[in-house]
């Protein structure tokens, strides 16, 4: 198990880690999620040994990592640009880490070929990596990382350079491969969908602070912070609660709400209203929009209420 306890790090006046404490269990995938500059990549580098924390403790299976240089930690780091060796073919890239570990060349080639087969690239072993597609290069990078049987796999924005369709495809493949390998993983991403698709738990960071670490389902059903709720996709966040779509009530029996913005869509309308609870964004179906057609104009009024029982209460007020 990896344990981070009260990690602190700053660059000048900029705080990138503020009393961060986390654990990663054996076989678990943890995502570090947050906007650019929140400290997630620096946190990954501290785990890898590429940055030193100003204070705090890093342990793996109870052993203090402070005195261990990166090459003795037994961790594998995958960068967003893959960091493959262009002069080597796919097999040579995967063999590289094994040879560095002292594995004989013939045995390294056998293990590397087996790993390429696991990632679906058995027939690409002799291809120069610069002739491979982005998705194929990413698979080679994963094969290289897993071939060394790391104690921990660190992924820094691994899909950011790929197009959306390929990202989704590789996310599914990586999830399966990581499960099969059983290695603990930390993945850095700014993409909520990516974090939720790949991780068992997601740690949400802002300005170097850990706001919440939980399962994707728990983050969606019980966000503890107003900023976090907005970041993971909720549109309607009040001072002390999130208003999920199922908590919004429409009808002539509800309090009047003034339409302040209106966008017509092929299958309905997007409406911003000034309601009793505050400003709310509504997505109306075609049927709902038709039922309010006489009132759907800027300055018009429609009936909008809130089901208090369905609100998601926040521990920290909106900011």
Written in H, E and C, the secondary structure of 234-260 is: CCCECCCEECCHHHEEECCCCCEEEEE
Question: Coil, strand, or helix at residue 80?
Answer: coil
Which CATH number covers residue 267? 2.40.50
Tell me whether residue 303 is exposed, middle or buried, using C-beta atoms within 10 angstroms of its C-beta: 0 to 12, 13 to 18, 19 or more.
Answer: middle
Span 104-122, pLDDT tens digits: 999 999 999 998 998 888 9
Provide the pLDDT for residue 219: 96
Scan for tokens 């594998």, then name that residue.
76
Provide the pLDDT for residue 317: 61
Gap between the Cα atoms of 127 and 123, Å rounded:
9
One domain, residues 290 and 273:
yes
Give a yes or no: residue 318 inside a domain: no
How many Cα atoms occupy the beta-carbon half-sphere of 259 within 13 Å? 23
What's the structural domain count of the chain? 2
Q: Are 25 and 67 in contact (CB under 8 A)?
A: no
Gap between the Cα atoms of 135 and 170, Å rounded:
7
Q: Which of 227, 250, 272 is the last residue of a domain?
A: 227
Question: Coil, strand, or helix at residue 81?
Answer: coil
Which CATH number covers residue 43? 3.40.50.300
One domain, residues 119 and 157:
yes
Q: Which of 203, 227, 251 is the last residue of a domain?
A: 227
- Nearest 5°: the CA angle 54, 57, 63 is 135
Count of beta carbons in the 10 Å neighbourhood of residue 176: 10
One domain, residues 222 and 250:
no
The residue range of the domain holding 268 is 236-313
One domain, residues 72 and 149:
yes
Count of beta carbons in the 10 Å neighbourhood of residue 310: 15
One domain, residues 44 and 170:
yes
Give a yes or no: residue 33 inside a domain: yes
DSSP bridge pairs for 196: none
Q: Which of 180, 210, 227 is the last residue of a domain?
A: 227
Span 12-43, pLDDT tens digits: 999 999 999 999 999 999 999 999 999 999 99
One domain, residues 143 and 267:
no
Give a yes or no: residue 178 inside a domain: yes
One domain, residues 290 and 197:
no
Span 198-239, pLDDT tens digits: 999 999 999 999 999 999 999 999 999 999 999 999 999 998
One domain, residues 223 and 241:
no
Give a yes or no: residue 39 inside a domain: yes
């Amino acid at each position: 198990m990896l344990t981070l306890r009260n990690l602190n790090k700053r660059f000048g006046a900029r705080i990138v880690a503020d009393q961060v404490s986390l654990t990663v269990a054996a076989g678990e995938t943890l995502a570090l999620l947050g906007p650019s500059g929140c400290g997630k990549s620096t946190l990954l580098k501290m785990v890898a040994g590429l940055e030193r924390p100003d204070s705090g403790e890093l342990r793996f299976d109870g052993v203090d990592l402070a005195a261990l240089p990166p090459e003795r930690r037994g961790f594998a780091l995958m960068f967003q640009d893959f960091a493959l060796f262009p002069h080597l073919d796919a097999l040579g890239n995967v063999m590289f880490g094994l040879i560095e570990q002292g594995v004989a060349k013939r045995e390294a080639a056998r293990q590397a070929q087996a790993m390429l087969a696991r990632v679906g690239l058995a027939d690409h072993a002799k291809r120069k990596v610069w002739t491979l597609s982005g998705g194929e290069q990413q698979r080679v990078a994963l094969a290289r990382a897993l071939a060394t049987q790391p104690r921990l796999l660190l992924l820094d924005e691994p899909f950011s350079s790929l197009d959306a369709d390929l990202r989704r495809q590789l996310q599914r493949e990586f999830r399966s491969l990581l499960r099969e390998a059983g290695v603990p993983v930390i993945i850095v991403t700014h993409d909520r969908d990516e974090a939720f698709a790949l991780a068992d738990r997601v740690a949400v960071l802002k300005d170097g602070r850990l706001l919440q670490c939980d399962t994707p389902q728990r983050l969606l059903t019980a966000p503890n912070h107003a900023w976090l709720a907005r970041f993971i996709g909720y549109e309607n966040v009040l001072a002390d609660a999130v208003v999920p779509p199922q908590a919004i009530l429409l009808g002539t029996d509800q309090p009047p709400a003034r339409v302040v913005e209106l966008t017509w869509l092929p299958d309905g309308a997007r409406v911003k209203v000034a309601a009793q609870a505050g400003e709310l964004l509504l997505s109306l179906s075609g049927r709902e929009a038709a039922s309010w057609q006489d009132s759907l104009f800027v300055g018009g009024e429609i009936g909008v209420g809130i089901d208090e029982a369905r609100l998601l209460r926040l521990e920290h007020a909106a900011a």
